[in-house]
Amino acid sequence: MSDASPAVVLITGGEGDLAVAVRAELEAQGWVVHAPSHGEMDVTDKAQVQRVISALPRLDLLVHNAGITRDRRMVNMSEEEFSEVLEVNLKGAFLCTQAALKLMVKQRAGHIVNIGSFSALSGPIGQTNYAAAKAGLIGLTQSTAAEYGARGVRANCVLPGFLDTKMTKHLLADEAHRARILSAHTLGRLNTVADAARFIAFLHSLENVSGQVFQLDSRVSRWT
């Protein structure tokens, strides 16, 4: 890519609040941004994913942001609810990574950022499916980094913290629940989507960082 050519990013789950913030941050920096909605690219549909990504002239950054929750206690969780969350959050990341690698390996450069969750580390009650998917996403990220680092491709996982988004708004609307969430953060406050977007843009600029997991909030977890 010549210095005059703008960098290209694909953000999955393009209608999500974090995706909108990442788009705004990168567009302000001069990036060409593609942020397809679920209707434009279902990340669980291999043919759709390959069609969208193969149509790009190049791909410098993939941000896999698409994700869903189907929270329920394990004994009440249906097989469909378990499978659906893994399909979108984990298999979707695999399919998008697989398609992106075809461009990035050819370019001998590229960066994949998977949006993870603290749930992968904490395994919260009622999120068996989501925690399993996000824990798998960490493994997927690190295996990608190990396999393709020699070809110039980086992969990192960002745990953006408990953000006030459409996905979490129902939880934060209850004052007692909000207080419990804030009490788990040593600083007693939450990140914004703009905070997370700035970090993702900054992480991309660190050209020697790959295979890492970045937790962006102030919840403290034990080493494992």
Tell me the catalytic residues.
130
Distance CA 21, CA 28 (A): 11
* Tokens 């005059």 sit on residue: 4
HSE (side-chain half, CA atoms, 13 Å) at 44 = 12
Which residue type is seen at 139?
G
Map the chain to HEC letters.
Answer: CCCCCCCEEEECCCCCHHHHHHHHHHHHCCCEEECCCCCCCCCCCHHHHHHHHHCCCCCCEEEECCCCCCCCCHHHCCHHHHHHHHHHHHHHHHHHHHHHHHHHHHHCCEEEEEECCCHHHHCCCCCHHHHHHHHHHHHHHHHHHHHHHHHCEEEEEEECCCCCCCCCHHHHCCHHHHHHHHHCCCCCCCCCHHHHHHHHHHHHHCCCCCCCEEECCCCCCCCC
Residue 115 dihedral angles phi and psi, to the nearest 5°: -85, 110
